Structure 1
Amino acid sequence: MELTVGELARRSGLTVRTLHHYDAIGLLVPSLRSAAGYRLYDRANIERLHRIQALRQLGLSLADIGTALSGPQAPLTEVIERQMAQLDHEITKATRLRQQLGLLHAQLASGQSPDLADWLDTLELMTMFENYFSTEEIKQLPLLHDAATRAEWSAMVALVQAAMERGATPGAPEAQVLALRWMRTLYRDTGGNPDFLVRLNRMHDNEPGSWDALGVSAPMRRFIEEAFVEGRLAIYQRYLKPDEFAFMREHYGATFAAWPPLLAALRKAMVEGVAPDDPRALELGRQWSALFRAYAGDDPATHERIRQAHANEPDLTDSSWSDEALTAYVRTILAALQATPRTH
């Protein structure tokens, strides 16, 4: 198929002036000329125009598009897939905005005076969450949809802030109780899914304003994490010998951030039905064992005392993002790991 500049303009929704400009800057040069000297665009030109428009929709300048198209080019199917993904993202954002506007309209129509600041904070949070969670996953996060949940978090944040302002240390019983409450609430609001926790942590690390709507600062997050660690150490101390506990105290805190990603990977393997003796599962088992031994040491007697603590102390196992099913799966992996011959 060969099209004149006017025909291509009508079919593409662009203006003739735009196509002439693309020709002048060498971005889209007609491949053919008619006997009368008119520009004619063939199939290859139309495909290139699609790439140009796709890249324009992704925000690239004409100069950047020219550079991008001068090198090896991705298949057109891949370009279209990127366009579709971008459109899906924009549709999701527009849908959420439409829902929020509907709620605002309903409040105004009923004579209520909505809290615009809270509404805007929620909308800002949603925008950030969309970069880390799918549409379906966002529906599972009550912080974005449930006013009672937001109020609960705000009250808890206020208590933690007050404790910090009073000079409470992470080792204080008050701080440990608040940290345990915080983690239990976070566990509830992530549905016990460690992958959600990992992505929330990544969002909070990458988006400085992600917790601003609730008044959570980076120092507050550190305070909670340190208090949570101190609370768990206080429990372990009741079961361990002094030298065992001294070793754990020195190393336990350093492993805190490493557990959620490992739990998320193990949960994914379990859901996908990866067999315990599969090389992927065995590698996760090795990581689990290495992380555990990093603070528990190598003495089997110490390990048994730690297991006893977990069996007797609900505060060590509740809201740990490792439910009974995942714990059982890990046990089968560790058993398979022990039965696997060592290679040198």
Structure 2
Amino acid sequence: MLKVGELARQTGLTVRTLHHYDQIGLVVPSARSEAGYRLYAPADVRRLQSVQALRDLGFGLARIAQMLAGPAPDRVARAQIEAQLREVDAAIARSRQVREQLSLLLQTVALDEAGGGADESPWRQLLQLLPAFSAHFSARELRSVLRRWQQLRAQWLPLIEQVEALRLALVPADAPQLQRLAQQWMDQSMRLMHGNLALALRWARMHEQAPETARHQGIAPATLQYIGQAIALRMAALQRHVDADQLMRLDAGLASRWQQWAVLAQRLLEQGTGVQTPEARRLLAQWDALLARMARQDAALQVAIARAYASEPLLQHGHPVTPAMRALVQRIREASEPSEA
């Protein structure tokens, strides 16, 4: 039998802690000496060791008491362990999120020197916007997007200025010159989001709900609303041919590939290359491959996309593939089909 002081020395606990465990009925000594001192039997020590182990695993005293007592302790223990595991998983997820946010701030601190005496350093600006950003994106997503934004910033700024100039000139949303810029805006957004349309829509929704995040990128809310109206017209035209599920399946990150294809098509048009030449057949094969990739190999979606861009004049504004190029593709395809006997 151990006195409370001896047990305290063996376990590294304080006498006060052991007294508290006794008072709440968690570890009660089996006996007391004639002088009234607490005496702990080996079974009491083993129980105390269980309490210490569970405390090290993060359990609270109330849960420990439930786990070590009751008519069905094994069943209770299982439920408490599962609950504790869920809490630990949540804490780990939160810790990972905090770590990503700290990494994001550390990444942004590096921009301070490039700020060149700005009124407020980039990381302080980001710190103020972090709650708004975090409501829509994980820190990992945000770090990737903001890093990408820094890489593409030089291409974005002239585009923003051109859109703002048209807004001040009161150019309507369906005007060809604004629609061309809307296509460029969408292409840049896809580059920013690595072709992830769902991510781009989330980014646009964040700017709409928290305009200060757009200002952080140098976009005035009025400019954002203006280009948003133009983009909405393009999306409405597209959705006359594809439904919402099909739209989300599209690979929207192929702008550079379409531009490369358009350069080749324009060259064939200027050179007057015949539609039955190897060059023409390669052009058709590249067209079909790009369209299939855009539609994620969905044949029905390929047809719908081709029909949308062929029949909606608004979608043709700003797209690298001109009506003349589409007509060329059709002529090559007809020339490639076997004639009927």
Structure 1 length normalisation: TM-score? 0.48
Which protein shows a greater Rg? 2
Structure 2 length normalisation: TM-score? 0.48
